[in-house]
Structure 1
């Protein structure tokens, strides 16, 4: 007897430990059926104004799982859920019974015992234990038996609710992890400078249209990332985004890559091949280094822009396509037009929506942010501890001119991750050509102080005496910012006040890059 009791306790313990809602529902229902010595039962959940069967046992159980009952229709489970009370019902005579559910069952229910599933006094479902004997003789309805059974149902209700909540949180975490993983794989565009935000504001507005975009900027400024952002934020996001670099590719090869070819079009063309435009139909084509496209290919591209048609090499027929073209270049296309190296009509077709990406030296405020971002992302990729950058190192990075722009900075960070032995990257870890850059190099041609105090001192004093205090403060703050190339940290340090106070004064004086002098 004690062994049976121990087995029962162990069974209940295993039941309460289950965290999978589907498995727990099945175990819970089978335990109740075994206690009551019947073979049919079901569990129902409240979903808005309906009740859904989520688990069933016994003959015809496969025909009831998934059944939905409207709250306005009669049902035993509906009555129990709405009233929050246990009930006993005889389907043949009880008007609450929904006869349609069992209309096609070979064996009908003769007596139903139904309990509410509660959590903190709120009903979220119901469980039915059903006797199918014609005389309804199997259910034990003695109060001495029902009372502990109801207590078991209440405890199992809590376990089931916790398991459902755990499952929901687990799914939410999976979705979050999936989103974070996708975001990490996507190339992120980062910046806080005014020049960056001006460009990104244009990009955001361009994404909502279907016009062609021309992205200009030096090599390494992130033109392809912007093209990807334009596609990702457009209505074409679920269609292909295909890229082709037009640089250093022979004209015939470039045309075949873009427009495809027919079998026999040239030596080696042993089969038909689709080109980039056909493959990207409905999506976006990104043409990088468009300034290097040969004149003959430019004419074929113009036909795509004018008529939305392509003609594969060796084919006499045209094919109609629907693509958005985003082009990019680091060259002066207007100058190339004057030298007859680029078609003027193609330029106007491509540059309906122009956007220029500033070089990194014109957005120095973004350098610390980008450096730390690359350290974080590259460390995660390499699965190594993330290194930190010393403030003095940041000063050198900001002072450097970055001819290779963001790409050069990203590659430097990769280099430093491998070559720096300590956890903190110090100035001595930098390559010599970057280490030699200093804040003074930025400002040696922009020092606002008079070069000859003896000559200019009197004039300077007269100018100052003619100013109001707010004008004087504004001129001083602007002069500091221009001296330190709009680096607030350096300017604040030179002024002798902390950075937050200095930034606050800048906001109150309405000083930002691009505003004119106050005098």
Structure 2
């Protein structure tokens, strides 16, 4: 059997390393008319099987072999040349097949070169036939196969480098975005200073942290600060909202899945935990996690290992978990909705974040911070708050906390025409808590309007967008900015509710 032009194109054009690994191995097996094979890469001073095919392949993928142990893969990587070995060869790492009913008879292994120099892995095809004569070992044929492997090897190395650069770019983008958005913890109140001191202390450890606080108090911001002050600062910081997606999707997002795990799982996919290896995972709204998934998270914390959805092999990982909730988890434990053992695993280092009404001396600082940031985004001079307006805002209780204040400042930036925000520019529900503001875009000066001025609840005085904005804000305030609960109350999908929030300029951060 020969290699076609399309085979070479398939190897040279694929950018996804996982797909390319599969293509290289599958093509070799087809060309040698055998069913078992594996592809190995050098990782962290070990030889790791990253792809395997054939009977018992799930037992081989993910296996790591130390360079100090005898193995055909190790010999090929060290010597940089192809080899053929029988099962009784002293180099054969036979313990890997100890419980296999069908064992290797003959092994053909090729090195994975990068531009003919560095050897970074190996790919082997295995004859398991009774006679052990299935492989075509004609020298000319093996030379052709080595040429094909060399092309695939260069493509694979390039795709691995591309993936690495893409991850680094994502991290750099996150850092630049953070700098551009000026996401810093602002405040000088005693409660904020106390929380920042704990952030510094917690950053020096690797223990799990559980952040408590109402929605909108900046939990994700504090989680990022802990990560930034830890030894993991140069590693990934990845986040997942546990209430944002259904249980089965959340499991696959966190743990990944193997090919065939469910309909549509056409390839293996790494999960968030594996992607964050060495870094930190922030699990927001942990109290909304399904009880069955809580058991799997507990194993991650206890054993530092994960098992992808549909897989049989576990994999060791090194991550720190920071979680957050706006629920009373002790009450959730008593009611049976949250596992007690998981609660104690997560709550090693607790951090309670104050509501904005408990740190009102920071309202002025936060308002100025958001005004400056929004002005920078709009390439304008920042607006100023009059003393009267600031006094009113200081008296308001801010049920939506910092997020509500941030959204309010965005409204000021977009809707206040002058350079100073006065008391008359403030929404009625801030001036008179409990009322709904008819945020007019035009002043109605007709005699009828003067004779019968609209009440604070007169919807006819508002535009459709203003009505929707007020409705969404009221729902969010009622459910303490829990988007899933607000969406259920509105009787629409969470994704639809989230989309409407974005179109209305309402955002949730932390």
TM-score (norm 2): 0.50
User: Which structure has the higher relative contact order (CA within 8 Å, separation 6+)?
Assistant: 2
Larger radius of gyration: 1
TM-score (norm 1): 0.49
